[in-house]
Amino acid sequence: MAVGFLDEQRIIVGSHDGLGVLDAATGAVLDRSEDPSGDYAWFHEPPPTAFYEDGEGLHRVPVAGLWGGVLSSTTRDGWSCRMTPRGVELAGPNGSGFVVDDEEAPRACGFSPLGRVFVFATSPTLHVGVRTLT
């Protein structure tokens, strides 16, 4: 339903069943908040935001997905992304780039605030790319 970034290491993913926090590098589930009533208590707008509480306090995380919202489509060092009918295209500096081919219904794509992590979310899949920033 929605995806965003807690920081450069953690991705937040909202679904019909609740809210999950994933390690960007490994995909491991770090935390999960169930939503058994299905009322999307984790979601608030405007703008589309996921609320997540942990030992550090309450986080208000901008998200993008089924209900709108946007993630950054560019990085400071020249990468950009754009959704296509068959997935997403990433274009890098000096003509580098690649395509993520996924014909499922797209939800969102974009970069973490510093550009270390890239996500492309479809209805059933979350594609994640992580890079080292120099």
DSSP state, 5? Answer: E
pLDDT tens string 51-98: 999 999 999 999 999 999 999 999 999 999 999 988 999 999 988 899
Distance (Å, whole) CA 134 – CA 131: 10
Distance (Å, whole) CA 8 – CA 18: 22
pLDDT tens string 92-115: 998 889 999 998 989 999 999 999
Residue 9 sits in which domain range? 2-130
Residue 64: burial class (beta carbons within 10 Å; 0-12, 13-18, 19+): buried
Counting the structural domains of the chain, the total is 1
| pTM of this structure | 0.92
